[in-house]
Structures are given as structure tokens and as C-alpha cells.
Structure 1
Amino acid sequence: MLLRFAVLAVVLLVGGCINQYRGEPRMWFASHDGVAPREAGRVSVCHGFGCQLKTGIVFNAEDLAEMGKVMGTPETADEERASIAKLIAWMETRVAEPVGSADDIGGLDLYNAGKAGQMDCLDEASNTTSYLMVANEAGLLRFHKVGGPVARGFFLDGRYPHATAVVVSERGTPWAVDSWPNANGVEPDVMPLAIWFKRSSAR
């Protein structure tokens, strides 16, 4: 899995990963054996590191209504990003029981590789992108569109490979929505993608 991620990271970097977010999010799923959201509210939640395990989840009408309540009615892009963070935390909590991810540990945690319910950044980037796509299809995103996930670090630059989901504001500014550093159900780190790229992979 680490080798596959290193190769993916190199490909993204050589191809200009700073602009990878401009691509169709579904391309990300095709690149590393994930499963893109299908139909209304149906996702495959990745876990076990590297999307080795997948659990099907359907966000039903009741879930979608609750998602609308969590998002509220933000009036600016800044407010919407704050709502997005709350929504991702809610969705992680929603899927925790069927996926077995309630005790998913945040950050670099190689000891739990392969364990059901535990997620590395590939799982997190995939899942967060799936959740954002569901929110977008439900009409909950007004000021942002869902971008393709991006990767940074590829060992040769002294950084452990790391990936994040991305949203792009109306002005074209990409923002990282990074669930990996935090435990399940905790709001993801949301920051300009340019800042995210400059960070080490341990934070």
C-alpha cells in the first residue's frame, strides 16, 4: 500500500498536483481502487488503510434532512467552509457504527494498518470527497464545488505521503478539507490548499 501511494504521489507531483483538484473527483477513485458515490446518497466508505476494505452506506432522506440542518444557511464562503467541517464530522459519526470506525485514530498510525475501521489518509481523502459529493448532489453547497483530492510528499522530499479532499471556492481558490489528522467525528482541518502543501505530513 505504501509503495502504491508513493507511486501515486510521484505521479501527482510530476503532473502538477497543485492543480489536481481541478479534475473530476471520480478520477481519484479510479486511480486507487476506490468506489465513487453511486446513485443518490450511496457511498462506499474506505477503511483498513489504502481502501483495502469498503462498507456500503446509503444516506437516506432522514440523513439528508439532518445534513441540511447541520449545514444551516451560510451566507458567505467562509461560513460555508465552517459548516462543511461540521458536516464532515457529523457524517463520520453517522457511519461509525456500521463501518466500525468510532475509535479510528487520527494522524500517523501505522500500527493499525489493515484493521477494519481504522483509516489512513487515502481512506480519509476518499471518504471526505464522497461525503462532499453527496452534499453537493443534495444541493447543500452554494459557494463551493468539490475538487479532486491531492497528495503531497513522496519520501524523496523527506515527507511521508499524505492526501486530502479539496473544495474550490467560487473565486477559484482551493481549500484542503483534511480529516486525517483528527479522530473519527472530529471536525477536519480546513485551510487554503497552498498552506496545506507547505506543511509536513505529520500535521
Structure 2
Amino acid sequence: MHRWLFVMLALLSGLGLADERVKVCYGYGCLVQADVRYSDGQLGDVRRLLFAAVDAAEERKMLALAIGRLYAWAGEQSDIHNDRGGNYADGGIPGKMDCIDHSTSTTRLLGLLAERGYLRWHRVREIEARNFAWLIPSHWSAVIEEKTDGEAARFVVDSWFVDNGQPAVILPLDEWKKGAGPDV
């Protein structure tokens, strides 16, 4: 009887520790989507990283690292390990990602973190575009917003600027809209 109870408890305790799956886009324009699995151990690492933050500014720093790690793990399971910052360093290799791929995938990753309660000082917002030529959107990015009682500051979480696995670039949305970010 005791063995049966032990087995049942072990099985039930494992139900809360499920892996998570996220679709990651690549191929430019989300042409291809890879189903990427994150283990509970990997997500626990991300949780510990984010929970080390003591305020919103620190959470953004940790979030940049967390997004880089999530992309690195996704690269172990898909062709996105080949992705390089910007659009021109990729060449014709499989796994290349444009800003549409990055903004979509990063928003999905941020949503996963939010659903698990890992974002304590930010909420995930809709993807934003910045316009340069003739008011046509020329670059897209994932966006987060500080949880605050007053006017909430918004930030882009832009992984397009960096090679796969590197920390995402996080900038104030208004600065990014004016063209801020690394020159790639």
C-alpha cells in the first residue's frame, strides 16, 4: 500500500513540472516555424535569473540575458543557431531571421515568461514598428511595459540586433522609434 501511495504522489508531483513548447519563426516573414521545447530545468534557470532582479531596471537587464538563453536553447533544436544580427550577415543559410521573425518569436517567449509569473515588473505588449522611409514600417520589435500606477514606460526587447544566443537589446520605445540601437 505504501509503495502505491509513493508512486501516485511521484506521478502527481511531476504533473506540475511540465516542459513548455514555443513556436519560433525563421526564414524571413515567419515563413518557417520550429516547435521548440524548453525543459523545466531550463525554465527554472530563467526563473532564478529573473527573480534575482530587485527592480524594473534590473529585471530588464536579466530579461535581456534570459531571451538570449532561450534563443540559444532554441538554436540547439532548430536551424536558428545560424542566425546573425541584422539581415545581411546571414547570407543564404537556413535559420536566418528577420525582424518579423524576431519580434514574433520574442513576443511568444515573453508571453511564456509572463504566463509562468516570471515577469514581476513588466507586462508584454503588442509588437511595435518604426517607420523611416515614406511612413512604411521598416523594423518591428517585441515590447514590454513597466507595471506602474502612473504613466507606464515602454521598452523594446529586440533580439534582431544580435547573433543567436546573445542578450537581446532592450531600449526605451521612444528612443528605438527614432532609430536607436546597434548598427548592424
Q: What's the counterpart of residue 162 of structure 1?
A: 139
> Is the CA contact 2:38–2:73 (under 8 Å) kept in the aligned structure 1?
no
For the 8 Å contact 2:107–2:124, the answer to whether it is kept is yes
Question: Are positions 1:82 and 2:82 aligned together?
Answer: no
Q: Is the 8 A contact 2:171 2:181 kept in 1?
A: no
User: CA contact under 8 A between 1:175 and 1:191: conserved in structure 2?
Assistant: yes
Code of the residue aligned with 1:198 in structure 2: it is K
Which structure has the larger Rg?
Answer: 2
Q: Is the 8 A contact 2:145 2:154 kept in 1?
A: yes
- 1:68 is aligned to 2:47: yes
Unaligned runs of 5+ in 1: 1-38
Cα distance, 1:111–1:67 mapped onto 2, change above 3 Å = closer
Q: 2:106 aligns with which of 125, 128, 150?
A: 128
> Retained in 1: the 8 A contact 2:83–2:90?
no
What is the aligned partner in structure 1 of residue 76 from structure 2? 97
Write the deviation string for residues 39-77 of structure 1: whole angstroms up to 9, x where unpaired: 973211000010000001122322221211332421110
1:126 shift after superposition:
0.8
The structure where strand makes up a greater share of residues is: 2
1:180 to 160, 165, 180: 160
SS at match of 2:95: coil
Show structure 2 runs of 5+ residues with no match.
1-17
- State how far apart, in whole Å, the 2-side matches of 1:110 and 1:48 are: 14
Instruction: Pick closer, same or farther for the CA change 1:143–1:111 going to 2, 3 Å.
Output: closer
Asked whether the 8 Å contact 2:82–2:94 carries over to 1, the reply is: no
Q: Which amino acid aligns with 2:104?
A: S
The within-5 A match list for 1:184-195 is: 184-195=164-175
Question: What amino acid is aligned across from residue 61 of structure 1 in structure 2?
Answer: D
Amino-acid identity (%): 29
**Contact 2:82/2:90 (<8 A) preserved:** no
Residue in structure 1 matching 2:119, options 113, 132, 141: 141
Local SS of the residue matching 2:86: coil
The 2-side partners of 1:141 and 1:111 are apart by 32
Pair 199,70 (structure 1): closer, same or farther in 2 beyond 3 Å: same
Higher relative contact order at CA 8 Å, sep ≥6: structure 1 or structure 2? 1
Would the aligned equivalents of 1:177 and 1:190 in 2 still touch at CA under 8 Å?
Answer: yes
Number of residue equivalences:
163
Q: Describe the superposition over 1:98-142 as per-residue Cα deviations: whole angstroms up to 9, x where unpaired.
A: 1112221111328646x5311000000011111111111111100
Q: TM-score, normalised by structure 1?
A: 0.73
Aligned CA RMSD, in angstroms, stands at: 2.3
Q: Distance in 1 between matches of 2:22 and 2:90?
A: 27
Structure 1 residues 137 and 154: CA distance shift in structure 2, 3 A: same
1:126-185, CA deviations, whole angstroms, 9 ceiling, x for partnerless residues?
A: 11111111111111100000011111126314x871000000001311101111111111
